[in-house]
């Protein structure tokens, strides 16, 4: 063990459900043999942070330091670390540990660990301690759960790749987005705009399905081939049977049956946004064209690294608005109102 303790790391936390974020201090663990100590430069604000601080999914652990789109610089490594050295640009995404032994971990699907993935915040590590996320100055993570951020990408724009980027990259790859494939993205927010950029870079024909046409010019600039308003009933008539893959990023329940009708034979409607209530689905439209409805959760470590390397090669980062930590509560309100183009990123130097 290195004697590299980091007491009193400055952070922002919520102390109870729906409380505002406020200054907080925490102790990061000593850098262990296989640990990487990271100075956090930037952390994105994911809509999940808002669901979690308001305990909308149940099971939240307070006090909670949110943040799982972490980009920073390595400050120290444990004596047995082989993959990282001080000074490197690195990222931490939605989880910081898993069992490494179960079937899913061995397949590189650590996000589905059978023994329980240790998430970056509002989770418990193997010692039972609460985990604290990226709205903080530093973090210590086992090297196997640390990602390399390509040097050509700015750290602020790269931060959202650690959740929004991988959450769209993984289903786009899994369901074969590429040349000749027609992909629709529902909701042009933090996740959705990454889906447009990555889907376009993969060579797919990309359509945005947004509530209105307000973001149409942006959608085209980001790489969309087509843009439709879901508030217009004509959209659903015109696009019947058109898509091989539809990724739904909306953070609320919407009418999945309408979207199933837009799938071609063998098409898939994939949820990444989390609906707040159960959704009912009619069977016949699925049977008739061998369509499927599925879900997807972030991506494993190897795939997240593949995504970062892909984004480095294609110069893809998120469109961001950088804020000081002191504006985080206003930023939450603006995300809920849809008033962000397209991701808030906290400058953690302002802590």
Toward Zn ion, which CB reaches closer, 6 or 188?
188
Residue 246 contacts by C-beta under 8 Å, 6 or more apart in sequence?
Answer: 183, 184, 185, 186, 209, 259, 262, 263, 267, 268, 269, 270
47 binds ligand NAP (CB under 6 A): yes
List the single partner that 113 binds among ligand NAP, Zn ion, none, CB under 5 to 8 Å by kind. Zn ion
Q: Least distance (Å) from ligand NAP to the CB of residue 296?
A: 6
Toward ligand NAP, which CB reaches closer, 146 or 162?
162
Toward ligand NAP, which CB reaches closer, 48 or 207?
48
Q: How far is CA 258 from CA 44, 207, 233, 235, 262, in A?
A: 32, 16, 10, 10, 7
Contact in structure between 18 and 54 (CB atoms under 8 Å): yes
Q: How far is CA 285 from CA 17, 176, 282, in A?
A: 40, 22, 7
Which residues from 39-78 bind Zn ion, rule CB under 5 A? Answer: 46, 48
Which residues from 99-158 bind ligand NAP, rule CB under 6 A? Answer: none
Structure tokens at 108: 């590189």
Which residues from 224-283 bind ligand NAP, rule CB under 6 A? Answer: 249-252, 254, 272-274
Question: Mask: binding to ligand NAP, 313-342, rule CB under 6 A, as x and -?
Answer: ----------------------x--x----
91 binds ligand NAP (CB under 6 A): no
DSSP secondary structure of 153-172: S-HHHHGGGGTHHHHHHHHH
List the single partner that 245 binds among Zn ion, ligand NAP, none, CB under 5 to 8 Å by kind. none
Question: Mask: binding to ligand NAP, 194-223, rule CB under 6 A, as x and -?
Answer: ----------------xx---x--------
Q: Which of 14, 65, 105, 159 binds Zn ion (CB under 5 A)?
A: 105
Q: Least distance (Å) from ligand NAP to the CB of residue 35?
A: 26
Toward ligand NAP, which CB reaches closer, 191 or 351?
191
Contact in structure between 44 and 344 (CB atoms under 8 Å): yes
Residue carrying structure tokens 């795939």: 303
Q: Which of 102, 229, 264, 286 binds Zn ion (CB under 5 A)?
A: 102
* Nearest-angstrom CA–CA distance, 235 and 231: 8
User: How large is the C-alpha radius of gyration of the chain?
Assistant: 20
Which is it for strands 226-229 and 243-248: parallel, antiparallel or unpaired? unpaired
Q: Least distance (Å) from ligand NAP to the CB of residue 2?
A: 34
Residue carrying structure tokens 């090669």: 313
Toward ligand NAP, which CB reaches closer, 9 or 304?
304
Q: Total binding residues for Zn ion by CB under 5 A?
A: 8
List the single partner that 211 binds among ligand NAP, Zn ion, none, CB under 5 to 8 Å by kind. ligand NAP
Q: Least distance (Å) from ligand NAP to the CB of residue 48?
A: 4
DSSP bridge pairs for 109: none
Residue 48 contacts by C-beta under 8 Å, 6 or more apart in sequence?
Answer: 68, 163, 274
Q: Which of 118, 163, 268, 308 binds ligand NAP (CB under 6 A)?
A: 163
Length of the chain: 351
Contact in structure between 96 and 49 (CB atoms under 8 Å): no
Strands (E), the chain: 6-13, 22-28, 35-44, 70-77, 89-92, 95-97, 118-119, 138-142, 147-148, 182-186, 205-210, 226-229, 243-248, 263-271, 292-295, 320-324, 343-347
Question: Mask: binding to ligand NAP, 288-307, rule CB under 6 A, as x and -?
Answer: --------xxx---------
List the single partner that 102 binds among ligand NAP, Zn ion, none, CB under 5 to 8 Å by kind. Zn ion
Interface positions with Zn ion (CB under 5 A): 46, 48, 98-99, 102, 105, 113, 163
User: Which residues make up the interface to ligand NAP (CB under 6 A)?
Assistant: 46-48, 51, 163, 167, 187-192, 210-211, 215, 249-252, 254, 272-274, 296-298, 335, 338
């Amino acid at each position: 063990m290195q004697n590299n303790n980091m007491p009193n790391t400055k952070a922002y936390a919520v102390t109870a459900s729906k409380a505002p974020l406020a200054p907080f201090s925490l102790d990061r663990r000593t850098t262990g043999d296989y640990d990487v100590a990271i100075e956090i430069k930037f952390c994105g604000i994911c809509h999940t942070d808002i669901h979690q601080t308001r305990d909308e999914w149940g099971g939240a652990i307070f006090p909670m330091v949110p943040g799982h789109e972490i980009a920073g610089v390595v400050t120290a490594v444990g004596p047995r670390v082989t993959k990282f050295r001080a000074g490197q640009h690195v990222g931490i995404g939605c989880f910081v540990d898993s069992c490494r032994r179960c079937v899913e971990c061995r397949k590189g699907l650590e996000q589905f660990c059978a023994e329980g993935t240790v998430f970056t915040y509002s989770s418990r590590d193997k010692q039972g301690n609460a985990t604290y996320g990226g709205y903080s100055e530093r973090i210590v993570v086992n090297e196997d759960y640390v990602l390399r951020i390509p040097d050509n990408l700015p750290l602020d724009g790269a931060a959202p790749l650690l959740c929004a980027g991988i959450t769209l990259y993984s289903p786009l790859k899994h369901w074969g987005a590429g040349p000749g494939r027609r992909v629709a993205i529902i909701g042009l927010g933090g996740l959705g705009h990454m889906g447009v950029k990555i889907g376009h870079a993969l060579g797919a024909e990309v359509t945005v399905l947004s509530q209105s046409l307000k973001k149409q010019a942006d959608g085209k600039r980001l790489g969309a081939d087509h843009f439709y308003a879901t508030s217009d009933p004509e959209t659903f008539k015109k696009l019947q049977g058109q898509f091989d893959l539809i990724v739904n990023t909306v953070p609320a329940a919407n009418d999945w049956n309408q979207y199933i009708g837009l799938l071609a034979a063998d098409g898939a409607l994939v949820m990444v946004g989390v609906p707040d209530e159960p959704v009912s689905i009619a069977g016949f439209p699925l049977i008739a064209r061998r369509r499927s409805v599925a879900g997807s959760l972030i991506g494993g470590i190897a795939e997240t690294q593949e995504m970062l390397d892909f984004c480095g090669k294609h110069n893809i980062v998120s469109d961001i608005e950088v804020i000081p930590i002191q504006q985080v509560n206003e930023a939450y309100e603006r995300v809920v109102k849809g008033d962000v183009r397209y991701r808030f990123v906290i400058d953690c130097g302002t802590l």
